[in-house]
Amino acid sequence: MQRITQVLLLTMLNGLLAQVEIDGYVKNYNAIRLNKDYDYLILRNRLRLNLNYLPSEYALGYASFDVKNDHMGDQNDLELNLREMYIDLYFDHYDLRIGKQQIVWGKADGLFITDIINPLNLREFILADFEDIRMGINSIKVQAYFGNSRLESIWIPQFVPAKFSEPGEAWAFYTPIDEIAKSIPDTLIMIYNITEPEKRLNNSEYGFRYSTHFKGIDLALSYFYTWDDYPVFRQYFQLTNNPLTPFSVTIKPEYDRLTVLGGTFASTIGPLVIRGEGALYQKRNFYTENAADGDRVVQKDFLNYMIGGEISPGKTFISGQFIQEIILDYDDLVVNDKIVNTGTLLLSDTFVNETIKPEIFVIYNFTHEDYWNRFSIKYYPVDGVEIILAADILGGKKDNKLFSQFDDNDNVYIKLKYSF
Amino acid sequence: MKRFTILLTTAVILSLGFSFGKSLTAREIMEQNEQMMNTRDERSDLTMKLINKRGKERKRQVVLYSKTDNQNNDKTLIRFQAPADVKGVGLLSIEEGGQKNQWLYLPALKRVRRISSSEKTDSFMGSDFSYEDIEQNDLNNYKYSLLREENFDGVMCYVIRSIPVDEQVKQETAYSKSDVWVRKDNYISIKVNFYNKKADLIKIMNSNDIRPVEGTDKWRAHFIEMQNVNTGHRTELLYKNIIINQGVADKYFTQRYLERGR
């Protein structure tokens, strides 16, 4: 009897496995910092496994795992990460996806304007592959289809913030705490632990997106009621009686609610593809120098939009984007610039039957005069194998801006990837 | 119907050829060829081998879906199955009022990207085939003439030359002329010589393993090779599981299906 049970179980398991497709890759990634010591920035191996379970054409089970090994000096970290795990159900006129997932909105390349559903892992700034920057989030997504249109509804029961490097690490961001310590050196700084929204229903996030294709144009409108994934550092200054530290400041990092209205379009004019994306962030937090303001934080509406185009003559690919950020109802005491202009340029080509692909990607912030340039050559010696040799150059004229704060992190890297 | 299929290459051309005794005119032969190739819808598994002059191979596997709707608009979906690093990538093309719209789905980015329509002279998936080689061309865009009838590869063929009918077509195509061998028994083209603007022979296409497709009166080449005369590079296409006029569902030609990645 026991043997029959074992045989039955094995048969069932075999049947189940026969319906599971496995793919993924193994990747080795080594980056060296371009400073006088040429110290290692990253020495990493990664195994990615994607499992697709296909019981029928009306359902799918999907899971994606990462096993990551960072080995720097004595450090030899092994990290297992469940990137995504969800179930898809396909009906005649709507689809349902439940579980940990990545939800991608927007049309911009390398930017997050309306594409803000998933929190970002910024522990390596935005230099990692985009599939690794976005963190999967537990959510329910329903997409209803009618004609050329669809209505997408998402519900995220629990807020997950963005991830950052710890202070002192290579990719640690410059924060208001650093600014205070720098500008008022004798200040006593007390920092509260960061407060996250309580885990309850009315702290959940939700959004809707309507998209359509009309006379050759792809259009979408979106609404997202969310939490800002980035904490605001509320600052409370006080005078002290201590002559050595005449000021004290209490800092309370918190997450605040945010409402984002967005829209996108994409179309073609002859050989040119044009794309655009815009979002209005209602009551976003900005720092102010107004001492009368209790916490040195003001809320302003914020507009962020992009317009871009791309063309591919022959095997060459050229893409450019212009991005503008505008703080509405601006006052001069707001620390941030009222208007910030940024441009991106991507150039790539292929040679030797598409086995060699050089690429240049540039982001330049015209307002802050800082930049990130990436020069890379991809080589595909055999099917499924990719070798990338690249350099990231970051810098700028002004200190501690988005890219210039990582001026010391210029690096060259090599990645070897085998997909299976 | 104008549809997506490699074989059509040839079909190309036409105009008013001269009659050959009581035989068919060149145009009539090409109309027969077009009729043989035309379908309402089609699905096939395609393995593409890119082979350089040293014999080094790269392989692509895709599933092709094509359909022409009641308004005579073509729809195609190409879904990559291999190699692993491009598995799930999809290219959707939909003709709409004379304009072709194209979307590319990249599974790693989980995003559908609008792309510009391919030029006729662009390479198809990095191969030695260009889009004009694989798409059904309007017969009225070419003039043709019947060069001769001859036995080729054991079968009697018409040899037909096609040239662009006007300056506009000349500008759109990479070829000044092409010679096509059309089988007399079933009007399938089995060889095409392509000539560049200087009238030099640049590419040779050979079609083999020609047999009827089950359940239809259509014949298809199941193995096609395109050779680049100048570089020595060649591309082989191996077709399997060709299904014709069995009603490919409209759902395949939607962004919804494109995003499923399979």
DSSP states of A186-217: TEEEEEPPPBPPPSSGGG-EEEEEEEEEETTE
Contact indicator for A20, A52 with CB cutoff of 8 Å: yes
Cβ distance A266 to B114 less than 8 Å, yes or no, reads yes
Q: Both tokens of residue A403?
A: 């890219």
What average pLDDT does the structure give for chain A?
93
pLDDT at A338 (0 to 100): 97
pLDDT at A389 (0 to 100): 98
DSSP state of A12: H
Q: How far apart are CA B135 and CA A205, in angstroms?
A: 48
pLDDT at A332 (0 to 100): 94
Widest CA span in chain B:
61
Residue B16 has pLDDT above 60, yes or no: no
Q: Does B101 touch chain A (CB under 8 A)?
A: yes
Mutate: best of A277, A383, A420, partner B, most B CBs <10 A: A383
Pairing state between β A247-254 and A187-191: parallel
Q: How far apart are CA A400 and CA A405, in angstroms?
A: 4
pLDDT at B8 (0 to 100): 41
Confidence of residue B22 (pLDDT cuts 50, 70, 90): low
DSSP state of B224: E
**Percentage with pLDDT > 90 across chain B:** 73
pLDDT at A217 (0 to 100): 95
A106 to chain B: closest CA residue: B111
Q: Which residues of B touch A354 (CB under 8 A)?
A: 126
Whole-prediction pTM value? 0.88
How do the domains of chain B map onto residue ranges? 6-256
Nearest to A268 among B117, B122, B255 (CB): B117
pLDDT at B9 (0 to 100): 39
The topology (CATH level 3) of B6-256 is outer membrane lipoprotein receptor (LolB), chain A (2.50.20)
B117-124, long-range: CB within 8 Å, 24+ apart, which pairs? Answer: B117/A268, B117/A271, B117/B93, B119/A271, B120/B172, B120/B173, B120/B174, B121/B172, B121/B173, B121/B174, B122/A314, B123/A315
A92 to chain B: closest CA residue: B251
pLDDT tens by residue, B59-79: 999 999 999 988 888 999 999
Mutate: best of B54, B57, B58, B257, partner A, most A CBs <10 A: B58
A128-137, A346-355, B132-141, B198-207: least confidently modelled range: B132-141
Nearest to B116 among A107, A272, A314 (CB): A272
What HEC string does A117-129 produce? Answer: CCCEECEEEECCC
Q: Which residue has the higher pLDDT, B122 or A253?
A: A253
Mutate: best of B49, B110, B129, partner A, most A CBs <10 A: B110
What's chain A's length in residues? 420
Backbone Cα Rg of chain B:
18
Which residues numbered 145-204 in B keep a CB inside 8 Å of some CB on A? none
Strands (E), chain B: 41-51, 57-68, 74-82, 90-96, 99-106, 111-115, 142-152, 155-164, 177-183, 189-195, 201-212, 219-228, 234-244
Within 10 angstroms of residue A158's Cβ, the number of other Cβ atoms is 15
Provide the ipTM.
0.90
Which residues of chain A fall short of a pLDDT of 70?
1, 16, 73
pLDDT at A1 (0 to 100): 64
C-alpha angle A147-A152-A156 in degrees, rounded to nearest 5: 170
Residue B207 has pLDDT above 80, yes or no: yes
Q: Which residue has the higher pLDDT, A185 or B30?
A: B30
Residue B10 has pLDDT above 70, yes or no: no
Within 10 angstroms of residue A76's Cβ, the number of other Cβ atoms is 10
Q: Which residues of B touch A52 (CB under 8 A)?
A: 262
Q: Does A252 touch chain B (CB under 8 A)?
A: no
Of A68, A354, A348, A62, residue with least CA distance to B86: A354
**Percentage with pLDDT > 70 across chain B:** 92
pLDDT at A341 (0 to 100): 98
Q: Does B109 touch chain A (CB under 8 A)?
A: yes
